Amino acid sequence: MGRPGIHRRLKHSGVLICLLTIFLVSAIPSLQAQKKYITRTGEIHFEASVPSFEEVDARTKSASAVLEASTGEFAALVLIKSFRFKVALMEEHFNENYVMSDDYPKASFRGRIEEFNAASLGDRPEKYHISGELTVRGTTKEMNIPATLRKTGDKIILNSTFTTTPGDFGIKIPGIVRNKIAREVVVDVHFELH
């Protein structure tokens, strides 16, 4: 008599294990779809050089970024003082006179990668556009930035090159150096998101 109860409990346990397995297997794709790819070592380089004058060139390797794989939402943040110039005096002028990094310590971008599909990414770079808002020195500008994305192993690599102007963000270039700085700033971005 004791045996039928054990069989019933074992049978009931087997059904529960089977249902639990089905639930977990079906939940895995949705969990993967919600994956966030993150970096804190993103590289941003900008150049505003004019031929025959000193190079206006700076870079940082400490930008943060996050990509929500299921929605294509993308955000990046960089501390302005993390940009390094070849000439220390130029770095000082950049922080104090142009971007006023004590008052505006961060630059940020928040947007969405248009028609993004993480599952279709492979080793070959694919072209996308990222629409969003770039904020520098307290001024926000709508941007549509071209980018390439590819997936290598467990990381997504995002590269972009775009141009902007100091005037887009209320940065005034004094007349004495206006001819030594390009009217357009070329920005290169490289993020390896894990």
Asked whether residue 51 carries a pLDDT value surpassing 90, the answer given is: yes
And the tokens for 160? 């972009």
For the chain, the domains span 1-32, 34-193
Listed range (31-45, 46-60, 65-79) with the worst mean pLDDT: 31-45
pLDDT (0 to 100) of residue 24: 54
Q: How far apart are the C-alpha atoms of 155 and 119, rounded to whole Å?
A: 12
- 23-45: string of b/e by CB count within 10 Å (b at 16+)? eeeeeeeeeeeeeebebeebbbb
Per-residue pLDDT tens digits for 108-165? 999 999 999 999 999 999 999 999 999 999 999 999 999 999 999 999 999 999 999 9
Judge whether residue 5 has pLDDT over 80. no
> Is it the case that residue 176 has pLDDT exceeding 70?
yes
Is there a contact between 34 and 69 (Cβ–Cβ < 8 Å)?
A: yes
Amino acid 48: pLDDT: 97
pLDDT at 30: 47
CB-facing half-sphere around the CA of 176: CA atoms within 13 A: 0
Three-state SS at 135: strand
pLDDT in tens, 32-45: 446 999 999 999 99
* Residue range 22-26: mean pLDDT, rounded: 54
CATH superfamily, with its number, for domain 34-193? Lipid/polyisoprenoid-binding, YceI-like (2.40.128.110)
